[in-house]
Structure 1
Amino acid sequence: MIWLFTRMSGGQSLMIGKKKSLKADIIIGIGDLSKMTGVSARQLRYWEEKGYIQAVSGKKNATRKYKFEMSFKVQAIKRYLDEGYTLAKSVEQAEKLRKKFEIWKKFLVGKVQEVEITDTQHNYGVIELGCVDEEQKKKIYGVVDENGCHFELRDYAEADN
């Protein structure tokens, strides 16, 4: 969700819009969805007819419009088709992938406490995931550095230094 702001004189910000969800509020046409995903408009119409994807309801015979988030589902279906799955199995796999991402997102929102950028040139950093023991003496960190991605367990006192 985002808030829309405008700058006022004196450097103050004034909220001018309500909360928006970019992925839920952006609408794209079938041609744009086709270009973004590499799936033909004809194929998209077929998938919609089968109930695998959904257009935003509108007038009959009008150009089909889709929520931006549908592009992720279409890309996933295409990926599984390209790997040799049937269309029905591709849709099933795409839905499973969507559910995995929802769990991943829920975990990140619930556990990530702080992200420290340690090297902007290489996109290295440290992600604080919180305490891992009941006594709250140890914290776990996800580290992205020249050695790749790994976890580090640090004493709470050491972690705050």
Structure 2
Amino acid sequence: MNGKKLSLKADVIVGIGDLSKITGVSARQLRYWEEKGYIQAVPSKKNTTRKYKFEMSYKVQAIKRYLDEGYTLAKSVEQAEKLRQKFEIWKKFIMEKVEKVEITDAEKEYGVIDLGCFDENQQKKVYGVVDENGCYFETRVKPDTDE
């Protein structure tokens, strides 16, 4: 291997049959959605099986979810795109603001997420807590780091 990290999202390719199985959307529907420009196959030679990046499965599942909720196909595609955009905003925030995640109980999947300081003096930190009481925010005075 050349040392390049593979990305499930960007590098894994699945055939139309596999995409259909993964998402529960028929191959016929997938071909129709592609004709309409709602999803895109990986460019390939003529008369070969359609192939898709694995990440397309997220879009297909989102479209199906909105169709199941009663939206039209066009509105489902629009809602799926809004969902993707919201996720990207969420991801940017998390990648920039999460300083540390501490596992407090691995078996129960409890932990504390350090979201950093929020005051002008950089003395108070906000934490996201997941424990037996649910999910909530907590503020704490920043611990001394001069030890």
- The TM-score range, normalised by the shorter chain, is over 0.9
Q: For each residue in 1:2-22, what CA deviation from the matched residue of structure 2 results, as whole angstroms up to 9, or x when unmatched? A: xx7xxxxxxxxxxx5123322
Match of residue 123 from structure 1: 109
The correspondence for 1:68, drawn from 33, 54, 75, is 54
Task: Please point out which of 55, 80, 83 is paired with 2:69.
Answer: 83
Which structure carries more relative contact order (alpha carbon 8 Å, separation 6+)?
A: 2
Counterpart position of 1:103:
89
What is the root-mean-square deviation in Å for CA atoms of aligned residues? 1.8
Work out the number of aligned pairs and report it.
147
Q: Percent identity?
A: 78
Structure 2-normalised TM-score?
0.95
- Corresponding letter in the other structure for 1:38: G
> In 1, distance between residues paired with 2:70 and 2:111?
37
Q: Cα distance 1:150–1:159, how it changes in 2: closer, same or farther (>3 A)?
A: farther
Runs of 4+ aligned residues of structure 1 deviating over 2 Å after TM superposition are 19-22, 157-160
One-letter amino acid of the counterpart of residue 114, structure 1: K
- Paired AA for residue 119 in structure 2: D
Pairwise CA distance, 1:130:
0.2
Equivalent position amino acid for 2:79 in 1 = Q
Q: Is the 8 A contact 1:129 1:140 kept in 2?
A: yes
1:138 aligned to 2:124? Answer: yes
Q: Does 1:151 align with 2:137?
A: yes
TM-score by length of 1: 0.87
Letter in 2 for 1:61: N
- Distance in 2 of aligned mates of 1:115 and 1:159: 18
Q: 1:121 to 1:59 in 2, by over 3 A?
A: same
